[in-house]
Amino acid sequence: MFIGIAGSAAASGYAIIMYEWHCYTMPQFLKMRFGGQRIRIWLAVVNTFLTIVSGISPLSVSLFEIDGYQSITNIYLKSASNHTYEQHGLYGNMSCGFPPDNSFHIFRSVDDPGYPVTGMLFGLTILATDAWCTNQVCVQRSLSAKTLTHAKAGVILAAYLKFLPFVFFVIPGMISRILFPDEIACSDPDACTNICDNAAGCTNIAYPILVNRLLPIGLKGLMMAALLSALMSSLTSNFNSSATLFTMDMYRPCRPKAKEKELMIVSRLWTVVLAGISIAWLPILGVVQGAKFWDYIQSIASYLLPPVVMVFYFGIFWKRTTEVAAFWTMVIGLAIGIIRMGLEWSKSGSPCGSNDPDERFAMVYKVHYLHFAMILAGISTILLICISFVTKPRTKKQNAAIKATYSWKNGSVASIGVLQKGRR
């Protein structure tokens, strides 16, 4: 988040914050409490306070460096490298080296190449549903709550904290471009390669450069501690969740008589495998991420998650949904998403300042990844409905095993939970 959001803000301005503000959350399975290790809970609490305190430092120092927020609105749109200004003055081109004119707008036109309004409202809703309603990493926080009330209180607090990324990451990212335009806003592929080893651009290093060059030694250490704490919290949550799902949902059904010690060993071995896969992915990441790391992450989510979200939606709200329909919707939807992802990775676009033609397929550069998420969600919906109608419906006993709970107060939905009472 430190790197991705700040880098995208340096490149395109305010709109990136919608990825943080466009969130929905749902405490799940809270009547069956699954407690976690106490140390992990305390680490998460300490990490929250550490992140807030450390986030104030770069914001304060950077605002002081440019004489206040008003300077951002006056200077940001002009923040470009000397190479961009030279090319613009000599040939009247290199517009890609400047921030877009709508950088201070969150809602942009439908055909905006970065953050189209339709994609941000509808496509991003799909990604947000997966991240905050079905993601085991987020759900397990709610599972550790003592009561449903505690879980709701934690969710509300987290929602308020979601306002902070705008001032902690977006504003410092934009200021970093203003202060260091020749590096952050480099527009020559060779120069960008020398600066950050990425010919597509160097906006990803906006936050690290700001911290390294403006903060004093003590605050640098605090920022490093916050970064490492956030990284460790994220890694442990992801590895723990994946190991739990693999062990309990895949390994245990194959060996129902496995003892706890065996399950623990399998879980740890799977964590080692995940760590190895993550390390092996780093060289690929360096090739395919492009100039904005955050967009790379969200594009992958747009290609893979819509089928999961639609199966989740219909599994809760439509009793006619069948297991066969859910399975084939997932298989076909993921296959379509992987094809799109492969097409995008097979040919890269032309970086700013390059005379090379854009060799990407038309469906890649003409269809934004958030719009593709909407299309894939529509395809998944059609598949799910059609296959459900031609397959055997669930019995009343199976439908009774799933209970949807709604909590209404002052006309708004406080939470939607799903309680699995028994296995089929």
Domain boundaries, the chain: 2-233
Kindly report the pTM of this predicted structure. Answer: 0.77
Residue 413 pLDDT: 37
The pair phi, psi for residue 407, each rounded to 5°, is -125, 115
Whether pLDDT at 38 is above 70: no
pLDDT digits (tens, 9 = 90+) for 182-197: 999 888 888 888 888 8
Give the residue, 285 or 70, on which the prediction is more confident: 70
42-47 own/partner pairs: CB under 8 Å, 24+ apart: 43/229, 43/232, 43/233, 44/141, 44/233, 46/229, 47/226, 47/229, 47/230, 47/233
Which runs of consecutive H residues, i.e. helices, occur in 18-92?
18-21, 38-65, 70-75, 82-91
What is the enclosing helix (H) or strand (E) of 414?
Answer: strand 412-420
pLDDT digits (tens, 9 = 90+) for 59-110: 888 899 998 888 898 899 888 888 888 876 656 555 678 888 888 888 889 9
Residue 180 pLDDT: 92
Residue 414 pLDDT: 34
Sign of the dihedral defined by the CA atoms of residues 135, 136, 138, 139, in that order: positive
Residue 97 pLDDT: 80
Which of 42-56, 117-131, 402-416 is modeled with the greatest confidence? 117-131
What whole-number distance in Å separates Cα of residue 99 and Cα of residue 11?
A: 6
**What is the distance, to the nearest Å, from the Cα of residue 34 to the centroid of all Cα atoms in its chain?**
26
Residue 269 pLDDT: 92
Distances in Å between the alpha carbon of 289 and those of 238, 281, 296? Answer: 21, 11, 5
Instruction: Collect all residues with Cβ–Cβ distance below 8 Å to 215 and sequence separation of at least 6.
Output: 57, 58, 61, 223
Whether pLDDT at 22 is above 70: no
Residues 53, 56, 61: CA angle, nearest 5 degrees: 135
Residue 4 pLDDT: 58
Under DSSP, the state recorded for 351 is P
Q: Half-sphere exposure (CA, 13 Å, Cβ side) for 417?
A: 21
Instruction: Collect all residues with Cβ–Cβ distance below 8 Å to 363 and sequence separation of at least 6.
Output: 340, 343
Percent of the chain whose pLDDT exceeds 90: 17
- Name the region of 289 (left: φ>0; alpha: ψ -120 to 50; beta: rest): alpha
Q: Band the pLDDT of 421: cuts 50, 70, 90.
A: very low
Residue 355 pLDDT: 65
For residues 397-424, give the mean pLDDT: 45
pLDDT digits (tens, 9 = 90+) for 348-392: 766 665 666 667 777 777 889 999 999 999 999 999 999 999 998
Tokens 């033609």 — which residue?
A: 357
Amino acid occupying residue 171: I
Residues 130, 158, 60: CA angle, nearest 5 degrees: 115
Whether pLDDT at 422 is above 50: no
